[in-house]
Structure 1
Amino acid sequence: MQTTLMIYDGTAPADSGVPRTGGVPLAPAGFTWPICGSSCGGPLQFFAHLPVEDGVLSVFVCQNDPGACESWDATSGANRVYLFPREELQPVEAPATGVTLLPATSAIRTHVVTLDPAEDDDHDELAPDAYDLARSGWKREPEERFGKQREVLGSLGGSPSYLEDDRLPACPACTDTMEFAAHLEEGISAQSAMNLGGRLGYVFVCRACREGAFLTD
């Protein structure tokens, strides 16, 4: 069982092309900063820049009035996910008002964890979850009870951790069920944290239509 974890790798320039949370989005020319369609009408906050095989996932979530706009719902309009091509991306200037940028930029490196779920003694009652096992076991020494989970900023690919099938979002263009793309954790510190309400974030994509979706659980 393999899981590609996203691991905190220090700080990065705000406009870096490396995988990161925070900083400024890189987008094609003419890109317009997304606005919350839930209730506040303000600009969304940029969360993450995630290069993937066929482009770059750019994640935005409303933070202007946490709890009022339904940022946890994939269809609320309070979040947006874009799948940009890799070529000719440029930094986007944030709007002058609203909660638009995280205080710190966190670089991400990937690390593939291979685990045998049969060797885990903490998940006897439930079927082993690949992401949960990989995250809880990250950098765990044989004599340690806990690993360094705060270093884990999420994962790429795989399957959505413990998410019910009825919450898998449908593509607004073709109506097919979207493909799971990434987990997002809040972050390693208060300065770099994405506000997910203490929950796990899920990023989905329809690669055929280049549409994305975000939700928390």
Structure 2
Amino acid sequence: MQTALMIYDGSAPTDSDVPRTGGVPLAPAGFTWPLCGCGGPLQFFAHLPVEDGVLSVFLCQNDPGACEFWDPGSSANRVHLFPREELRPVAVPVAGLTLLPVTSAIRIHVVTIDPEDALEEEGIEPDAYDLARSGWKLEPGERFGKQREVLGSLGGSPSYLEDDRLPVCPSCTGTMEFAAHLEEGMTWETAMNLGGQLGYVFVCTPCREGAFLTG
């Protein structure tokens, strides 16, 4: 059982093509900054290079809690799957809450757990992400802990999310695939406001459509 945790790794250049939270989004030419139904621009949360391109995650923070950024069908969030070719920094709107205060680099730390060692009572397999987040180590031999440095994970399965909440692609009507977890972050300077919830990023790779929700 392997989980690819995303670990806080200090600061990063605002326009770097590395896994990060915050900074400026990179997008193909012609990209227009997404707007919420409230009329304000969405805030850019994360740049996540994945096998099929780059995931860019945006949420509305213009009046936190007023817009339903936790709802995958809401205009208050947006997930884009961009091809890796010819990405460039996007012009940032002059008004609205568009950028996080700090750009945080992410490193990938793969946690491997023996399934036989991970079984709970009655042989029930525990949640892989929850187990990895609770028990990751910076170096072999160090104790478990420092959970606040975990910024989420890439791939795997959505933690404790019921099947009836899996988003459907608006283009092909197929069920989207899980792509990433997002945690709020280390401190108030670096944190993404997720309302204290765990964020879930989904994608339909053929249609290049994405979705976001919290739970």
Q: Normalised by the shorter chain, which TM-score bucket?
A: over 0.9
| Counterpart residue type for residue 186 of structure 1 | E
| Cα distance per residue 1:5-34 (max 9 Å; x no partner) | 111111001001110000000000110000
Structure 1 counterpart of 2:136: 138
- Letter of the aligned partner of 2:71 in structure 1? D
Which of 164, 171, 174 is the aligned partner of 1:173? 171
Query: What is the identity, as a one-letter code, of the residue corresponding to 2:26?
Result: L
In structure 2, C-alpha distance between the alignment counterparts of 1:159 and 1:41, rounded to whole Å: 34
Tell me, yes or no, if the aligned pair for 1:117 and 1:128 is still in contact at 8 Å: no
Deviation at 1:143, TM superposition (A): 8.9
Query: Pairwise mapping of residues 22-101 of structure 1 onto structure 2 (< 5 A)?
Result: 22-37=22-37, 40-101=38-99
Q: Alpha-carbon deviation of 1:35? A: 0.3
CA offsets per residue over residues 172-197 of structure 1, 9 Å max, x none? 10000000000000011111100001
**Aligned mates of 1:136, 1:10 — CA distance in 2:** 21
Q: Which residue of 2 aligns with 1:10?
A: 10
SS of the equivalent of 1:119 reads: coil
**Structure 1 unpaired stretches of 5+:** none
Q: How far does residue 112 in structure 1 lie from its aligned partner after superposition?
A: 0.8
Give how far 1:165 is off.
0.5
Cα 1:35–1:139, aligned 2, differ >3 Å: closer, same or farther?
Answer: same
- 2:121 and 2:151 map into 1 onto residues whose CA distance is 26
Using the TM superposition, give the Cα deviation of residue 142 of structure 1 relative to its aligned residue in structure 2, in angstroms.
Answer: 7.5
SS in 1 for 2:69: coil
Q: Secondary structure at the match of 1:43?
A: coil
Query: Which among 196, 199, 205 is matched to residue 197 of structure 2?
Result: 199
- Give the partner amino acid of 1:3: T
What number of residue pairs does the alignment pair up?
Answer: 213
1:56-114 deviation digits (Å, cap 9, x = unpaired) = 00000001111110000000111000000101111012111111000000001101100
Q: 1:183 aligns with which of 181, 186, 194?
A: 181
> What amino acid maps onto 1:93 in structure 2?
A
**Any idea what the Cα deviations from partners look like across 1:150-186, whole Å, max 9, x if unmatched?**
1110000000000010110000100000000000000
CA distance in 2, matches of 1:70, 1:209: 24
Distance 2:105 2:72 in 1: 26
1:145-156 map, 5 Å: 147-156=145-154
Alignment-mate amino acid for residue 34 of structure 1: P
Question: SS at the partner of 2:132?
Answer: helix
Q: Secondary structure at the match of 2:129?
A: helix
Q: Is the 8 A contact 2:199 2:214 kept in 1?
A: yes
State TM-score, norm by structure 1. 0.93
Q: Secondary structure at the match of 1:23?
A: coil
- Structure 2 distance, partners of 1:24, 1:142, is 37
In 1, are the aligned partners of 2:68 and 2:76 still within 8 Å (CA)? yes
Question: What is the rounded CA distance, in whole Å, between the counterparts of 1:84 and 1:44 in structure 2?
Answer: 17
| Percentage of pairs with the same residue | 79
Gaps of 5+ in 2: none
